[in-house]
Amino acid sequence: MRKNAWLLLGAACVVLLFCGRLTAAPSEDVVLPGTGVRLRLPRDMVARPLQPPLIRAIRKSDNAKVFEPGEWWRFKQTAGVWSGPSGQIRIGELMLKNLDSGEMATESELEKRYANPETEAGWTDEELARWMELYFDAKVKSSAPWEGGTRGTGGTVWQLVPRNAGSPFEAYLLEPPGAPDRRIAVQAAPALREVLETLTFIPPERDMTARQLRTGGILGNRRLKVSPEYQASRVRVLDTIRNYRDWWYLETDYYIFVSNQEDKRGMLRVRRDLEKAREIFEEYFPLEIELSAVSVIRIFNTREEYVTYMGGNMEWSGGVWSPMHRELVLSPVAGNAPEKVQAAMIKLVAYHEGFHQYLYYAADGADAALWFNEGTAQYFEGLEFKGTRPGVTLESDEAKKLKQAVVSGPVDLKELTAMDRQMFYGKNRDRNYALAHALMHYLFKGAPLEEKTAQYSAIPFRYYKALLRERDGAAATAAAFQGVDMDQLSRDFTAFWKNDRAVRRSLRYTPKLEKAR
């Protein structure tokens, strides 16, 4: 992740479901098509961030990513959460069997474990009470019939007491007319109970949980090796937008884009350049494992939505790869923005953050050392696709900045390559970034040009191989630099950046990847 000031396009870690402001007037309906619900919400209600399940551990027996069942169970059955000055409203649907085990499992295993079998008996009163307790993390105090809805909608109002500290509250379990086996759960603040009077039911769109944008999609050009968990991750992404008509998705060979952006031209450019960049990433660092999750790109329609989604501490950014979100999240990309502005955004986001995302999945989530991860991401900001063969360039101003970082003080590459997050992103953050970039440029494009330093060119590839094998950034660093005199490397590295002729020569050089590996 790189902190850079740049023009935000389109004007300019918890994973969230949707965070846009509802723009519908008070007299207009809000429709949740995947759940089959229509209701009216006050204009000042905002869709609240919702956290999908996070990977909680790696199972030793098969290296599978596992989830906490309760988080996954609640996420799969939540249709939406909104909040505003009047309080909060939450809507869910009974779709899965009640939790029966706290054992963590993969998404596909959880799908099988909690699939709700269609039975004539339906839900018993005891099962419904248990579901309410599990979903709302509360204890049922009492229940009573409720018939206050429109068009004959009835159900049950439940009095619940939070398991943790908190005041008792009411939640409603509504029964859609003509569908006795369906139940819709609604928790509304006292001031929002009138919203229940507007709630009606429509046929749910079960077969099309999200709107697909077919223009600009690319599928079938590349066969990827994927694990059984890959499809489950795709379904989870689509679940986050299944009840929002303004959102759509687009699939390519490598990515799934989810967006509510009205101007799709900028998004299509990001799609094109990300696809091309990813092929270069794979040329340098070939994919050697089955992918366990789809690569997600989320693009917002407004700057406000992006900032709300990412949180105030990320307000400086225009796009970022977030392992916690498992998404590359972008601020609006304006298709009519000047070419120079769009190109700057592509470098800082599609190429830089795109490499972080690629490495995360190529290394199966292993935590890469920052000298390698950030240095290589900045190296790939120089990707260019002019002519018949793509290459990586370094603009003269950027080369001067890197040289200045090198000559501004003593260089200790042993210290740089051992830095943890606190040190790398600390008070010398800017210089550390520049030195990591300068190091990767040297290893890829500078060292190979001199016979006495050519052996250094294998270091990045040794690191990648060791990261796949060791799954530990520090251990991979040790393996990559095994047998290398770090003091001599620091001297050779410094001498290179002080030699303007050598730097200019390196700019024209294209790494011979097969030979280096």
- 391 and 384 Cβ atoms separated by less than 8 Å: yes
Cα-to-chain-centroid distance, residue 242: 17
pLDDT, one tens digit per residue, over 417-475 is 999 999 999 999 999 999 999 999 999 999 999 999 999 999 999 999 999 999 999 99
pLDDT at residue 17 tops 50? no
Report the relative pairing of strands 383-384 and 391-392 from DSSP bridges. antiparallel
What are the structural domains, with CATH classification, of the chain? Answer: 1-18+206-357 (3.30.2010.30), 35-201 (3.40.1000), 366-517 (1.10.390)
**Residue 257, CA distances (Å) to 215, 261, 281, 403, 486 in order:** 12, 11, 19, 38, 43
Looking at 104-108, 126-130, 354-358, which range is the least confident one?
Answer: 104-108
CA dist 19 and 89 (Å) reads 14
Encoded tokens for 316: 């400086």
Give mean pLDDT, residues 60-68: 83
pTM over 0.85: no
CA dist 290 and 125 (Å) reads 44
pLDDT, one tens digit per residue, over 387-396 is 777 889 999 9
| % of the chain exceeding 90 in pLDDT | 44
pLDDT at residue 245 tops 80? no
**Residue 485, CA distances (Å) to 347, 473, 491 in order:** 34, 20, 10
pLDDT, one tens digit per residue, over 298-331 is 888 888 888 877 877 777 788 889 887 789 988 8
Encoded tokens for 475: 């251990």
pLDDT score recorded for residue 263 = 76
Instruction: Supply the mean pLDDT for the chain.
Output: 84
Between residues 2 and 4, which one has the greater pLDDT? 2
Contacts of 446 (CB under 8 A, 6+ apart): 453, 496, 502, 503, 506
- Residue 395 gets which letter from DSSP? -
CA gyration radius, the chain: 26
pLDDT at residue 351 tops 80? yes
